């Protein structure tokens, strides 16, 4: 069953749980409980924990088979069960449930309704599938392609075309703005054609730095390492890192600039590089937070999207600096 | 313990397994086995399965606690155990072990040495951490950054600088080749400055299509959906998909071309788009396979790397076509 689960982001624990579990009453003795388990164990698979409830089915504790077997036969279940237990609410998102499993190292967690009544059990084996699918979804968003539900190998040519073309066309039209930026500076370019030499190098660097930030941020948000409230802390750190990265890359590109265009060009490309890397990094770092705020998946901040945005700002920064500096 | 595991790609099952398990002898009766479990269960956590071995410790079967409890007390373990069992070799890569867990839906799998002797048990809870770390590693490679072992939130400014600068500088120097390509066609550009308008749009489209292919391929290879031997099948499918994508995008860009530069420019950019998308897609699709063949991680084929390679080929394709067509 778990293999056939559809990849949808709003799936709940209720769709993942099994109804195969054994319940014990608090007042059972260990002996009674063992007999109860023996009677029911044959019909069921995957029984590692037993769930203890009151008359009204309210879940009050759990007990592993191992603990039951190791206990004195005359004790009451209430005396040996674990009272402080983890529960999942039936409408919890499966992705959140996966986090609980990762944090607790449990193999199964009971599912309760809003009143605390036991209604099912989620097993960790099914969480493996959830985790794999969540990560695959994030990779696809970062590709970026629309959700491919049945794997790449068996996807038809038409499916692949349909899932890929949307983002590609959106990006083409975004890149028209870069073109418009270039057109705006046609005079500057015509009188200093050497500037074109550095265009891909400079605009790509902004996109690359931005892609790094975005990808790190998307993953950290997906595994819960970073939350929306961490934005300011991350932004401040990103500024310092980006300045250091920009200066290093500016030195690299200035040496190339000296050879290809002389001192003036070297200064222009170095200045541009610092600014482009800072702006690109901050865009890449912020976009996942913005998407999260807008209740979109942060993973939508894909490298190609960041690259396109960085291209537009890069073109403007580059030729503005060039126009200003070369007219001095 | 599992939380502190280092992120290294060559970790083996041996480093993940626990030595806490209960072994039964084949000739035990169910009654003897129950007594044995009762005696040892208290000292151990996480006992859901029992392992059956011969005198020389060769693993011959398994039994769940549930099955033991449900069985007739006079039967022999040999008669009720599962003979056909999954085992992990002690030096198996943890990532491979994760695949076995996903495919079998087991909560624990015994670990054996080369002679088939039982030496440990791996629990699925620890596999959750392995899966999360493997996916995080792939995200970082695709960023691309060097491996960040302790999470993004607490990484120092200096650590982030150090992990990011390497790839950024490599990409700067790769992009110098795009610049060199542009320099080679300086005459064509000078006499048709409108060509520059379409430069970011065209070269980015190749990179975008290539990033899609590479990202889908990397993930499919990571989860075992696609293997190296599938290369030819994927390559053939990619060609058809890329032609369809290229033609659609060419139509989009040709309309922009008509407005910005007339019929000639429209034809040049449309032709270029088709070729660039095909070449970009094939590079993106093939690079993960090539890395795998070279025993590098396929995830090294990051979007920024694909973009840089696609830029170089894109510049050459674009201006070659322009030079040829505009001189006709």
At the top level of CATH, the class of A164-326 is: mainly alpha
**Six-digit token pair at B50?**
């029992």
> Following CA atoms A65, A67, A69, A74 in sequence, which dihedral angle do they give, to the nearest 10 degrees?
-120
The chain-wide mean pLDDT, for chain A, equals 91
DSSP state of B228: G
CB-nearest to A193 from B124, B189, B223 is B189
Q: E strand or H helix at A119, and its extent?
A: strand A118-123
Taking CB atoms and an 8 Å cutoff, what residues of chain A touch B165?
Answer: 244-245, 248-249
A142 pLDDT more than 50: yes
Q: What percentage of chain A exceeds 70 in pLDDT?
A: 97
Which residues have C-beta within 8 Å of that of residue A245, sequence separation ≥ 6? A209, A277, A281, B161, B164, B165, B168
**pLDDT level of residue B261 (50, 70, 90 thresholds):** confident
Calculate how close chain B gets to A89, using CA atoms only, in Å.
21
- Mutation site, B46, B128, B208, interface A, largest A CB count within 10 A: B208
B159-169: average pLDDT: 95
Q: Which of A37-51, A272-286, B55-69 has the lowest mean pLDDT?
A: A37-51
pLDDT digits (tens, 9 = 90+) for B20-54: 999 999 999 999 999 999 888 777 877 889 999 99
CATH number of A11-125: 3.10.580.10
Considering all CA atoms of chain A, what is the largest pairwise distance in Å, rounded to the nearest integer?
Answer: 96
pLDDT digits (tens, 9 = 90+) for A108-138: 999 999 999 999 999 998 899 899 999 999 9
Q: Which residue has the tokens 């009677």?
A: A39
Window B:80-119, CB contacts with A under 8 Å: 98, 101-102, 105-107
Inter-chain contact B164–A209, Cβ cutoff 8 Å? yes
CA distance B297 to A297: 27
CATH number of B159-326: 1.10.357.20
A170 pLDDT more than 80: yes
What pLDDT does residue A1 have? 35
Inter-chain contact A200–B201, Cβ cutoff 8 Å? no
Domain B12-126 fold is CBS-domain (3.10.580)
What pLDDT does residue A4 have? 38
Inter-chain contact B131–A132, Cβ cutoff 8 Å? yes
Q: Which residues in chain A belong to E strands, given as ranges?
A: 23-25, 49-53, 59-64, 88-89, 108-112, 118-123
Calculate how close chain A gets to B202, using CA atoms only, in Å.
8
**Chain B residue at shortest CA distance from A174:** B201
What pLDDT does residue B10 have? 61
**Chain B residue at shortest CA distance from A42:** B70
Q: Phi, psi at residue A123, to the nearest 5°?
A: -100, 145
Q: Cα–Cα distances in Å, from A120 out to A84, A98, B187, B191, B204?
A: 18, 16, 73, 73, 50
The chain-wide mean pLDDT, for chain B, equals 91
**Chain B residue at shortest CA distance from A163:** B212
Residues carrying CATH 1.10.357.20, chain B: 159-326
Inter-chain contact A102–B128, Cβ cutoff 8 Å? yes
Calculate how close chain B gets to A114, using CA atoms only, in Å.
27
Return the bridge partners of A49, or none: A64
CB-nearest to A179 from B45, B123, B198 is B198
Q: E strand or H helix at A59, and its extent?
A: strand A59-64
Spell A66-75 as b/e; 16+ CB within 10 A means b. bbbbbbeeee
By CB atoms closer than 10 A (0-12, 13-18, 19+), residue A162 is middle
Residues carrying CATH 3.10.580.10, chain B: 12-126
Half-sphere exposure in the Cβ direction for B72 (13 Å, CA): 6
Return the bridge partners of B51, or none: B23, B62
What pLDDT does residue A10 have? 61
CA distance A80 to A70: 10
Inter-chain contact A245–B47, Cβ cutoff 8 Å? no
Q: Which of B9-23, B135-149, B221-235, B269-283 has the lowest mean pLDDT?
A: B9-23
By CB atoms closer than 10 A (0-12, 13-18, 19+), residue A60 is middle
pLDDT digits (tens, 9 = 90+) for A287-310: 999 999 999 999 999 999 999 999
Higher pLDDT among residues B136 and B3, named by residue: B136
What pLDDT does residue A261 have? 80
B259 pLDDT more than 90: no
Query: How many CB pairs below 8 Å do chains A and B form together?
Result: 347
pLDDT digits (tens, 9 = 90+) for B8-22: 346 899 999 999 999
Half-sphere exposure in the Cβ direction for B138 (13 Å, CA): 25
Secondary structure class of A10 (helix, strand, coil) = coil
Taking CB atoms and an 8 Å cutoff, what residues of chain B touch A47?
Answer: 64, 66
**Six-digit token pair at B49?**
């399965």
Window B:246-275, CB contacts with A under 8 Å: 248-249, 252-253, 256, 260
Residues carrying CATH 1.10.357.20, chain A: 164-326
What pLDDT does residue B1 have? 35
Residues carrying CATH 3.10.580.10, chain A: 11-125
CB-nearest to A196 from B2, B196, B219 is B196
Touching check for B167 and chain A: CB below 8 Å?
yes
Calculate how close chain B gets to A59, using CA atoms only, in Å.
21
What pLDDT does residue B326 have? 85
**pLDDT level of residue A55 (50, 70, 90 thresholds):** confident
What pLDDT does residue A151 have? 85
What pLDDT does residue A256 have? 87
């Amino acid at each position: 069953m778990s293999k056939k689960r559809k990849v949808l982001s709003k799936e709940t624990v209720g769709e993942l749980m099994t109804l195969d579990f054994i319940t014990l009453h608090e007042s059972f003795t260990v002996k009674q409980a063992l007999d109860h388990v023996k009677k029911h164990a044959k019909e069921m698979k995957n029984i590692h924990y037993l769930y203890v409830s009151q008359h009204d089915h309210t879940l009050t504790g759990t007990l592993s088979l191992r603990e039951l077997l190791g206990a004195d036969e005359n004790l009451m279940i209430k005396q040996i069960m674990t009272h402080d237990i983890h529960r999942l609410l039936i409408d919890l998102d499966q992705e959140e449930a996966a986090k609980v499993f990762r944090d607790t190292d449990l193999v199964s967690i009971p599912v309760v309704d809003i009143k605390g009544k036991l209604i099912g059990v989620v097993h960790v084996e099914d969480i493996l599938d959830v985790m794999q699918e969540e990560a695959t979804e994030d990779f696809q968003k970062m590709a970026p392609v629309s959700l491919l539900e049945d794997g790449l190998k068996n996807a038809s040519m038409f499916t692949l075309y349909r899932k890929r073309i949307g983002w590609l066309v959106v990006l083409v039209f975004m890149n028209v703005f870069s073109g418009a930026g270039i057109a705006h500076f046609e005079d500057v370019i015509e009188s200093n054609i050497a500037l074109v030499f550095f265009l891909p190098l400079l605009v790509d660097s902004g996109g690359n730095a931005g892609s790094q930030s975005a990808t790190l941020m998307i993953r950290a948000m997906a595994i819960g390492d970073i939350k929306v409230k961490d934005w300011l802390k991350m932004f401040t750190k990103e500024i310092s890192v980006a300045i250091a990265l920009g200066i290093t890359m500016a030195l690299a590109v200035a040496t190339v600039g000296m050879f290809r265009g002389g001192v003036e060009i070297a200064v222009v490309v170095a200045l541009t590089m610092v600014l482009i890397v800072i702006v690109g990094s901050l865009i890449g770092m912020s976009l996942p937070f913005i998407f999260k705020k807008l209740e979109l998946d942060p993973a939508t901040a894909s490298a190609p999207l960041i690259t396109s945005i960085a291209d537009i700002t890069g073109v403007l920064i580059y030729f503005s600096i060039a126009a200003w500096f070369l007219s001095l």
